[in-house]
Copies of this chain bind each other. A is one copy, B any other.
Amino acid sequence: MSSNRLVYLPLGGAGEIGMNCYVYGYGPAGKERFIIVDLGVTFPDMDTTPGVDLILPDISWLADKLDRVEAIFITHAHEDHIGALGHLWPKLKKPIYARRFTATLGRLKFEEHGLPVDMIRTVAARPETVEAGPFKVQFVPVSHSIPESAALVIDTPAGRVVHTGDFKLDHAPGVGEPWDDAHFTAVAAERPVKALMCDSTNVFSLHAGRSEASIKEPIRELVSKASGMVVATTFASNVARLKTLAEAARAADRSVCLLGRAMRRMVAAAQESGVLTNFPPTVSPEDALELPRQNLMLLVTGSQGERRAASAQLARGKYLGLEVKAGDLFLFSSKTIPGNEREVLRIVNALSEKDVTVQDDAGGLYHVSGHANRPDLEHVHRLLLPDMLIPMHGEHRHLREHARIGREAGIISSIVTNGTMVDLTGEAPVVVDRIETGRVYLDGTSLVGAMDGVIRDRIRMALNGHVMVTVILDEENDTLGDAWVEISGLAETGRTGALAEVLETDLNEFLAAAPAKLLRDDDKLDEAMRRIVRQVAMEEIGKKPEVTVVVSRLMSE
C-alpha cells in the first residue's frame, strides 16, 4: 500500500461567501504536490475594514511549499474566484488554467499588473485534460451568472473529485452553455466520484431555481411600457442579463448605452472571446445625449449601491452629461447582497426625490439567481452519487445546512471550514491539520495582515477620536515650553472649556509636578500622559480617545 494521501484545504470561501481559494494535495504526508483552485477576493466594509481596497486570502501557508505547487485553476471570472490573481500570482508564479472567457479576463488583469500573460493558458471543455503533477483536471461547462463557468473534474490516484465552482441548473441561459445533466452522468459513469465539493450559496432557497429565460418576457414588457428613459443595472459580468436587457431595449426601439468601465470591458471581453454574439449595437454617452429619452436604455454599473459607480452617480446628479428625470424608469435587475441594503436604499431614495420610478427585482420577476437552489443541489448529489460531500462557498450556516441535506440523502457529509485540512483518502474525510489562515488586506498598494493591527488602529480612531500630545524636554528633563495638544475627530468643547486647552492645562500641571525619575523614562512618561488625556477627556466629553504622545528631548550638540 502506498502512503500517499489526497488532501483538501480551503483557504477561503468555506465559512464565507466570497474569496474562494481551495488547495488540493496528493502525495506522502508532508510531501504532497498541490494545485490551487480559484484565487478570489472579498470586499471590505466600513464596519470591519475601513479604507481597505480589497480582501485577499492569506496564502502564506504555501510560501515554503512553492516547489510543491503545480498549477492554479480558475473556475470562472467572478471577482470572488479570480480577483486576487493579479495580487497573489507574483507570490506563486505557477501556470494558470482557465476556459477562454475566464482566461481573457485574467489576461486583462495580468496586463494591468504587468505580469506575463502567457502564464494564463486557455483550456477547452472536457475531455481536454490538464496534467499537473499527480492531478488530471478537466473543465466541465456549467451554467452560472457569468459565461463559461466550469466545474472541475480532478482525478488523482486516490480517486476522482468533482469541484463544482459556482453553478445553477439553467437549461436556457441565453448566453453561454446550458446546464447538461449528461455531462455529469458521464463523469460519474466513467469513474466513481470520491468527493463532491459543492456550491452552497442558495441552500436555503427551497424551490427549484429558475432560468434566465423566465425573466425575458417580464423585462420586455416592463421596458415596452416605459415612457421616459430606462436605466437598468445588474452585475456587469452577468453577460446574459445584459443581453436580455439589451434585447428588451431593441424590441422597444431603444438604443443601448453602456455606462461604467466594468460594463464596457465585460461586453468587449465577451464579444472578443466569442461567448456574446448578436448583442445590439450600442451608442456612446455623447450620442445618447442626442436621442429622445423614450429611445434610450442605459445599462449601468453599481447594482449594489457602490458609491463611485454609475448608478450612484446618476442618482446624485449627472454622469457623463446624462441625467435621470421625472418619469424615467430605473430597474434593479439584481438582488441586493446582504450588507449592501443601506447603500442601495440611498440610491432608491435619491431617485425617488427626482420622481424616477424605481423597479426592484419584484421577488424574481426581473432577476434570477446564478446559484443552484436546494432541490437543484439535491439533483446534483443524485447525478454524481459521491462517496462524500463537502459543502463549500458558503457561510457556516450554509455549509451546515448543505451537509445536513447530504446526510439526509445518505451521503457522508462534512463541514470543512477555511484552514482545516482533511484527508479524503479513506471512506470519510478525516481532519489532519489546522492551518493558521485568514485574510490579507490590499490597502493602497500595501498588503496588510488582518491581524497586524493597522486596521484595528483605524477603527479605534474612528470610534474614539484621536489626541496628539507633544512635549519638549531638555537635557535636565525640564520642559521647554508647554505641552501642546491637537485633537482630531472629537468635540471641540467639553464640560469646562475648550477640550485641547483643558487637556494642556492638566498636562502642564502634571509635568510641573512630575518627579525627575518619571520625566527621564520615555515609556512611563508616555503612559502617564496618555492616562491623563483619557481620564480628562472622559470627564470633559465622555469619551476615551486614542492618544499619541511625542516626547522630544533636545540635546546640546
* Inter-chain contacts of A548 with B (CB < 8 A): 468, 486, 488
Tell whether A361 is near chain B: CB-to-CB under 8 Å: no
**Which chain A residues (462-484) contact chain B, with CB distance < 8 Å?**
462-466, 468, 470, 472, 480-481, 484
A463-B51, A552-B472 given; A445·B338 CB < 8 A: no
Q: Are B462 and A50 in contact (CB under 8 A)?
A: yes
> A355, A448, A494, A555: which has the most chain B beta carbons within 10 Å?
A448
Q: Are A554 and B395 in contact (CB under 8 A)?
A: no
Chain B residue nearest to A343 in the complex (CB): B47
A443-B543, A446-B493 given; A488·B461 CB < 8 A: yes
A446-B494, A541-B445, A548-B486 given; A481·B554 CB < 8 A: yes
Tell whether A353 is near chain B: CB-to-CB under 8 Å: yes
Cβ of A461 to closest chain B Cβ, rounded Å: 4
* Inter-chain contacts of A443 with B (CB < 8 A): 491, 541-543
Tell whether A550 is near chain B: CB-to-CB under 8 Å: yes
**What's the tally of chain A residues with a CB closer than 8 Å to chain B?**
63
> Which of A79-87, A242-250, A451-459 lies at the interface with chain B?
A451-459
> Which of A149-157, A282-290, A344-352 lies at the interface with chain B?
A344-352
* Inter-chain contacts of A400 with B (CB < 8 A): 352, 355
Tell whether A45 is near chain B: CB-to-CB under 8 Å: yes
A341-B341, A397-B348, A400-B352 given; A466·B461 CB < 8 A: yes
Q: Are A51 and B465 in contact (CB under 8 A)?
A: yes
Cβ of A17 to closest chain B Cβ, rounded Å: 10
Q: Are B397 and A358 in contact (CB under 8 A)?
A: yes
- CA–CA, A431 to B337, complex, Å? 39
Could you say how many copies of this chain the assembly holds? 2
* Inter-chain contacts of A445 with B (CB < 8 A): 495, 541-543
> A400, A461, A493: which has the most chain B beta carbons within 10 Å?
A461
Tell whether A439 is near chain B: CB-to-CB under 8 Å: no
Tell whether A342 is near chain B: CB-to-CB under 8 Å: yes
Tell whether A444 is near chain B: CB-to-CB under 8 Å: yes
Tell whether A489 is near chain B: CB-to-CB under 8 Å: yes
* Inter-chain contacts of A462 with B (CB < 8 A): 46, 50-51, 458-459, 461-462
Q: Report A318-358 CB contacts with B as 1/0, cut-off 8 Å.
A: 00000000000000000000110110010011001101001
Tell whether A213 is near chain B: CB-to-CB under 8 Å: no
Q: Are A489 and B542 in contact (CB under 8 A)?
A: no
* Inter-chain contacts of A472 with B (CB < 8 A): 472, 552, 554
* Inter-chain contacts of A47 with B (CB < 8 A): 46-47, 342
Q: Report A351-381 CB contacts with B as 1/0, cut-off 8 Å.
A: 0110100100000000000000000000000
With beta carbons under 8 angstroms apart, the residue of B355, B448, B484 that contacts A552 is: B484
Q: Report A132-173 CB contacts with B as 1/0, cut-off 8 Å.
A: 000000000000000000000000000000000000000000
Cβ of A202 to closest chain B Cβ, rounded Å: 15
Q: Are B446 and A491 in contact (CB under 8 A)?
A: yes
Cβ of A185 to closest chain B Cβ, rounded Å: 33
Tell whether A490 is near chain B: CB-to-CB under 8 Å: yes
Chain B residue nearest to A340 in the complex (CB): B341
Q: Report A479-510 CB contacts with B as 1/0, cut-off 8 Å.
A: 01100101011111111000000000000000
A480-B554, A554-B481 given; A489·B397 CB < 8 A: no
What 7 A-B pairs have minimum CB-CB distances, sorted nearest first?
A: A444-B542, A445-B542, A462-B462, A458-B489, A444-B543, A446-B491, A50-B462
Q: Which residues of A contact B (CB under 8 A)?
A: 15, 45-47, 50-51, 338-339, 341-342, 345, 348-349, 352-353, 355, 358, 395-397, 400, 443-446, 448, 452, 454-455, 457-459, 461-466, 468, 470, 472, 480-481, 484, 486, 488-495, 538, 541-543, 546, 548, 550, 552, 554-555
5 more A-B residue pairs beyond the given contacts A444-B541, A446-B494, with a C-beta to C-beta distance below 8 A: A15-B349, A348-B397, A452-B492, A455-B489, A470-B552
What are 10 A-B contacts with C-beta separation under 8 Å? A51-B543, A338-B342, A345-B395, A349-B395, A353-B396, A457-B465, A458-B463, A461-B488, A480-B554, A554-B554
